[in-house]
Amino acid sequence: MRTPSTHGARPRSLWEDTLAATERCAEQPFEEPIAADITVIGAGLTGLWSAYYLADQLPDASIAVIDAAGVGFGASGRNGGWASALLPMGLKRLEREHGRDSAIELQTAMHDTLDEIERVLDHEQIDAGVERGGTFTAARSAPQFERLSHEVTTYQRFGFGNDYTLLDRHAAADMCAMTDLEGAMYTPHCLAVHPAKLTHGVARAVLRKGVRIYAPVRALSIRPGFIDTDLGTISTKYIVQATEGYTSQIANQHRNMVPLYSMMIATEPLPDDMWAAIGLNNRPTFDDTRHLIIYGQRTADGRFAFGGRGAPYHFGSAIRQNFDTNATMKERIHQALIELFPVTKEAAITHHWGGPLGIPRNWACTVNADWKSGLITAGGYVGDGVSATNLFGRIVADLISDRELDRGTHTQSELLRLPVVGPLSRRWEPEPIRWIGINAGRLAARIADKSEHQSGKDSRFWGGFVDGLLRR
């Protein structure tokens, strides 16, 4: 969430600059206190998908969506454009905590979610620049290839061997002419999308279903039956909180979700001969297996949209407009792109932007319903939420409609049995502990990558330090 005064103050992303006026969703002003059966806080994809399916399942309910700045202002409209089958919790962790069958069911549900997104886009006639090119995950060193081989073996053990394929260096180079390739993993389970077109397209579909979207109006605090905002109080039976990286701006929630910044750049459109040398035909999204994450896609208009993690965490979970760019991170990301694809060295960088992701303390996304207060909380995707938001939106809708329609447990939706439905993460540590810990983890990831590059050996100490410090 943001205060209205920051709306439009940030540098514009590639996605915002290439979103036509006719594709934008028109929110309505919040001019007086309202009442609604269901109120969604956050006009990103989690909130919008929740409203979309709720409107279908409860057509007589009054549903409102509010946002401090507008549709797609946060990560939903400004991300790397991966609608993938990824979740922050891997299969082994899901098996350890919930059992093998639950892990398989959740991964299968994520695969099926891509089909559901494509179905809705076709049904609602939303052009989101989608291409199902899959994901190409490169290994550019022996340690990276070892990690990738282990990942593929894990997928095979859970029965997904046909969905995740290990490529040798020759097969990998045929798909993507990245430097220093040792091999790659390929999966067809990813859609390259234009995130702003996707988010605004879903918002327009939500409006057609009779849902009201209000902006700018900032939620200040939540209590049973009410949302206190900067423009008045909303009375409501159910509250769906979908605030992700902006959760810290809700009263008493500054330790529920940490806002970690991810940064992106975009190049000018590249000529066809350059793309012929690079590859990435059919627009697979791409990354590698370094510790400090990088990610990218070949856009529908022939650019590189490329990003990376590693920007500093700001004390007190602070969120400010000047954090949305970072000259040091811009240079690091640009150099990483050139390192992967030297042919891009002379390509102009036309955009640089960033924004906060929502990181729960246990690094696991969840949907939690507190029926005593009527609050349903959904999110915590750790940057892998473009498609997971659709699954979570359907779960939110099933939770509320099951309760409203008084369905018995024998008719309960299969989605409600998935292991993401459950308790919220424990809270983050107080300051200055979390500032020290998070930024130490960020530094350790950089050291691990540098050590592996120089030695050619797995940096078990520093890589283990990152996992032990942040992910447990």
Among residues 73, 136, 87, which one has the least CA distance to residue 353?
73
Q: What is the pLDDT of residue 3?
A: 35
Could you give phi then psi for residue 444, rounded to 5 degrees?
A: -65, -35
| Residue 362: both structure tokens together | 């246990």
In which element (H, E) is residue 223 found? Answer: strand 219-223
| Residue 211: both structure tokens together | 């849902």
**Rounded alpha-carbon distances, angstroms, from residue 291 to 64, 326, 362, 457:** 40, 20, 18, 13
**Is residue 190 within 8 Å of 82, Cβ to Cβ?**
yes
Residue 48 CA to residue 242 CA, distance in Å, equals: 9
**Rounded alpha-carbon distances, angstroms, from residue 307 to 78, 263, 286:** 11, 5, 11
Residue with tokens 């397209």: 201
Residue 442 CA to its chain's centroid (Å): 19
Q: Which residues pair with 375 in a beta bridge?
A: 239, 370
Q: What is the pLDDT of residue 462?
A: 44
Among residues 358, 381, 364, 382, which one has the least CA distance to residue 422?
364
Q: Would you write out the chain's pLDDT as a tens digit for each of its 472 residues? A: 333 333 445 679 999 999 999 999 999 999 988 999 999 999 999 999 999 999 999 999 999 999 999 999 999 999 999 999 999 999 999 999 999 999 999 999 999 999 999 999 999 999 999 999 999 999 999 999 999 999 999 999 999 999 999 999 999 999 999 999 999 999 999 999 999 999 999 999 999 999 999 999 999 999 999 999 999 999 999 999 999 999 999 999 999 999 999 999 999 999 999 999 999 999 999 999 988 899 999 999 999 999 998 899 999 999 999 999 999 999 999 999 999 999 999 999 999 999 999 999 999 999 999 999 999 999 999 999 999 999 999 999 999 999 998 876 656 789 999 999 999 999 999 999 999 999 998 888 888 877 776 667 776 544 454 554 445 4
